[in-house]
């Protein structure tokens, strides 16, 4: 299937189920989605409708059962090793629960992420912490930071390798409204100033208003 040059990710006719037999849940049912380069897309939908599952398929975390995913106009293979290489290079993920390493400082949480990707961390971490507005917290551990600050570390980590696609799973879900607004402004600035392509899941219409396109999920597909 052909894709024009302006797309980062194209998902065609994606199917995904979990479980077997009577307990089988058919989550994604022929879902199609195109994410254009430079767009800030919000995905909304009721709890359990498959938003996280979709994000994990787009982020090459979970393989789909059927359908195709194209990243930068190339079909993503189903083989784990190839997917891991593509994910580490091209995808940045902000999880709903930040998944920071509690025994490491903010700076080391970012540095280890770079090293896992074989990238140098020297001199790169502090500018990233500055970019997310917490240059003064480099030596703090997650337990010594507010939830909003921890989420900024998670964002710094997710953008550290300059991914083509930043995926964020309810990044403001645990934040109060002030911190949520600050984080959304940060994401919007990354999108506007650096051209960062972002897909963000959210339950909040206020958060979705920061995006430049909103899609709604229902019954395992996007509403037209
Ligand atoms: N690993 C799994 N094994 C079995 N079922 C799963 C698994 N992951 C998700 N599911 C089921 O798939 C459905 C969709 O889950 P998903 O996490 O994608 O929903 P969601 O839209 O992100 O919900 P929420 O808004 O509550 O985060 C749910 O019914 C969930 O129970
Ligand atoms: Mg979810």
Query: For position 220, what pLDDT does the model report?
Result: 94
In tens, the pLDDT along 136-166 reads 999 999 999 999 999 999 999 999 999 999 9
Residue 42 CB neighbour total at 10 angstroms: 22
Residues of the chain where predicted confidence (pLDDT) is lower than 70: 1-5
Cβ of residue 186 lying under 6 Å from some atom of ligand 1: no
- Residue 53: which of 71, 33, 79, 73 has the closest Cα? 33
**CATH pick for 39-62+84-222 out of 3.40.47.10, 3.40.50.620, 3.40.50.300, 3.40.50.2000:** 3.40.50.300
Cβ of residue 47 lying under 6 Å from some atom of ligand 1: yes
User: What residues does each domain of the chain span?
Assistant: 39-62+84-222
Cβ of residue 85 lying under 6 Å from some atom of ligand 1: no
What does residue 13 show for φ and ψ, rounded to 5 degrees?
55, 50
Query: For position 3, what pLDDT does the model report?
Result: 42
What does residue 185 show for φ and ψ, rounded to 5 degrees?
-65, -40
Name the pTM for this structure: 0.94
Q: How far is the CA of 192 from the centre of ligand 1 (A)?
A: 31
Q: How far is the CA of 169 from the centre of ligand 2 (A)?
A: 7
CB 25 within 8 A of CB 15: no
Query: For position 174, what pLDDT does the model report?
Result: 86
In tens, the pLDDT along 167-199 reads 999 999 888 999 999 999 999 999 999 999 999
Q: What whole-number percentage of the chain has pLDDT above 70? A: 98
Tell me whether residue 166 is exposed, middle or buried, using C-beta atoms within 10 angstroms of its C-beta: 0 to 12, 13 to 18, 19 or more. buried
Query: For position 98, what pLDDT does the model report?
Result: 73
């Amino acid at each position: 299937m052909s894709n024009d040059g302006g797309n980062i990710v194209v998902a065609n006719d994606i199917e995904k189920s979990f479980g077997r037999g009577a307990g089988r849940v058919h989550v994604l049912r022929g879902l199609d989605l195109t994410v254009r380069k430079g767009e800030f897309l919000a995905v909304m939908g009721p709890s359990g409708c498959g938003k996280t599952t979709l994000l994990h398929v787009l982020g090459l975390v979970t393989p789909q059962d059927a359908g195709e995913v194209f990243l930068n106009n190339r079909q993503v293979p189903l083989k784990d090793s190839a997917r891991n290489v593509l994910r580490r290079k091209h995808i940045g993920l902000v999880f709903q629960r930040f998944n920071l390493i509690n025994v490491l400082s903010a700076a080391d949480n970012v540095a280890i992420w770079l090293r896992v990707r074989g990238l140098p961390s020297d001199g790169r971490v502090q500018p990233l912490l500055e970019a997310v507005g917490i240059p003064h917290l480099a030596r703090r551990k997650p337990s010594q930071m507010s939830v909003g600050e921890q989420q900024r570390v998670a964002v710094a980590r997710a953008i550290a390798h300059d991914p083509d696609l930043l995926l964020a799973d309810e990044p403001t879900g645990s934040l109060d409204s002030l911190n949520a607004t600050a984080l959304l402004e940060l994401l919007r600035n990354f999108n506007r100033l650096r051209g960062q392509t972002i897909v963000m899941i959210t339950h909040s219409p206020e958060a979705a208003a920061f995006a430049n396109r909103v899609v709604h999920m229902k019954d395992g597909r996007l509403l037209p």
